[in-house]
């Protein structure tokens, strides 16, 4: 018998597999395919203060071993999430969730986090300072250590729940950014968000995505994500949730060996709605194959 349970900031999860924000919406669509209560938890759709329609279409471009998206944080806004999405979610999901929060200013991050902190259904607040698809917010905060420190410090001053800062890989020194989040009081780090990429249509001679560039995700970015998780996990004293191209139980094990306590699955959900279910079901087999009795024994072992 193997132990798949892991603990994030005092919150015990049945397993480390977590669908990533933006790839699982608020759970309802996936609940039609399988019982989503088998998940460790999931990170719900990135939420801003006001409702957002998102970026103009086309928003998606395919690539070998991945995809580029420029959805632009389309969401119903923080008040609709609290008043409608969370009550609906409670009907199908009996665990706490990770609330992914975005903003265009420090004041907006504070406003959103202060509201969502009051919700019993939320176990962790994941502050997204790394979205490459929004102008004036998101990655604009996540590429500057001073901004990351200030956002983290401001959010921690108005919250009681654990705060995890979601980092952008589009930086020169990811460790410097992670340390700034830790110095600001972060309880953990989520990483990595998407890389910045683009595709050009050879027939029209124009970028495929209306926004020209977008977030590159999928199996192709896994080695980059793994390297960054390894670097950060060995440089900070707070937990890391690893993500970026994870699509198998083997990838989960590898991420944890690099230093992740839990692992988020993103683009794989968009290709196969059963991706997380299959990874969770396969995890005990892979653990036994490599002689792993308890996942906690392999965190950062590499």
> Could you report the per-residue pLDDT of 208-265, keeping only the tens digit for each?
999 999 999 999 999 999 999 999 999 999 999 999 999 999 999 999 999 999 999 9
What percent of the chain clears pLDDT 90, i.e. is strictly above it?
94
Single out the catalytic residue among 81, 97, 131, 260: 131
Helices (H) and strands (E) in the chain, counts: 11, 15
Query: Does the active-site annotation cover 131?
Result: yes
Q: What is the mean pLDDT of the chain?
A: 95
pLDDT mean over 2-9: 98
Taking residues 159-175, report their average pLDDT: 96
Residue 4 · residue 284 · CB < 8 Å:
yes
The C-alpha atoms of residue 99 and residue 24 are separated, in whole angstroms, by 12
Confidence bin at 132 (pLDDT 50/70/90): low
What is the SS3 assignment for 19?
A: strand
Count other Cβ atoms within 10 Å, centred on residue 128.
30
Q: Please, what is the end-to-end C-alpha distance for the chain in angstroms?
A: 24
Query: In this model, does residue 136 exceed pLDDT 70?
Result: no
- 301 pLDDT band, cuts 50/70/90, is very high
137: pLDDT strictly greater than 70: no
User: Is residue 130 very low, low, confident or very high in pLDDT (cuts 50, 70, 90)?
Assistant: confident
| pLDDT given for residue 6 in this prediction | 98
Question: How does residue 69 score in pLDDT terms, banded at 50, 70 and 90?
Answer: very high
Q: How far are the Cα atoms of 273, 276, 277 from residue 33, in angstroms, in the given order?
A: 7, 11, 10
Output the pLDDT for position 260.
99
Please give the model's pTM, rounded to 2 decimal places: 0.96
CA distances from 82 to 40, 53, 114, 126, 148 (A): 22, 18, 12, 16, 26
CB 66 within 8 A of CB 194: no
In order of their start, the domains of the chain are 6-297 (3.20.20.70)
Q: In this predicted structure, what is the pLDDT of residue 194?
A: 95
- The C-alpha angle with vertex 263 and arms to 120 and 85, in degrees rounded to 5, equals 35
Give the SS3 label for residue 124: strand
Note the pLDDT tens digit of each residue in 34-44.
999 999 999 99
Euclidean distance between CA atoms 177 and 89, whole angstroms: 33
């Amino acid at each position: 018998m193997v132990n798949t349970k892991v603990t994030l900031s005092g919150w015990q999860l049945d397993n480390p597999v977590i669908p990533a924000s933006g790839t699982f919406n608020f759970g309802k669509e996936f609940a039609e395919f399988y019982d989503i209560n088998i998940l460790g938890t999931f990170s719900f759709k990135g939420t801003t203060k006001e409702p957002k329609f998102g970026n103009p279409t086309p928003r998606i471009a395919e690539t070998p071993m991945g995809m580029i998206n420029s959805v632009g944080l389309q969401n119903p806004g923080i008040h609709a999430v609290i008043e409608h999405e969370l009550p609906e979610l409670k009907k199908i999901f009996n665990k706490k969730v990770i609330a992914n929060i975005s903003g265009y200013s420090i004041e907006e991050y504070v406003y959103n986090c202060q509201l969502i902190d009051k919700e019993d259904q939320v176990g962790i607040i994941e502050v997204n300072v790394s979205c490459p698809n929004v102008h004036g917010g998101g990655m604009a905060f996540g590429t500057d250590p001073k901004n990351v420190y200030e956002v983290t410090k401001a959010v921690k001053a108005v919250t009681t729940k654990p705060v995890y800062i979601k980092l952008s890989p589009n930086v020169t020194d990811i460790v410097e950014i992670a340390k700034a989040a830790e110095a600001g009081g972060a309880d953990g780090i989520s990483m990595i968000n998407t890389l910045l990429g683009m595709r050009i249509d050879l027939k029209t001679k124009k970028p495929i995505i209306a926004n020209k560039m977008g977030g590159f995700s999928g199996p192709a970015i896994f080695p980059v994500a793994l390297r960054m998780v390894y670097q950060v996990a060995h440089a900070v004293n707070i937990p890391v949730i690893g993500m970026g191209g994870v699509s198998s139980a083997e990838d989960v094990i590898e991420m944890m060996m690099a230093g992740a306590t839990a692992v988020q699955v993103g683009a794989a959900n968009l290709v196969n709605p059963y991706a997380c279910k299959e990874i969770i079901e396969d995890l005990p087999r892979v653990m036994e194959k490599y002689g792993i009795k308890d996942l906690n024994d392999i965190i950062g072992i590499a």
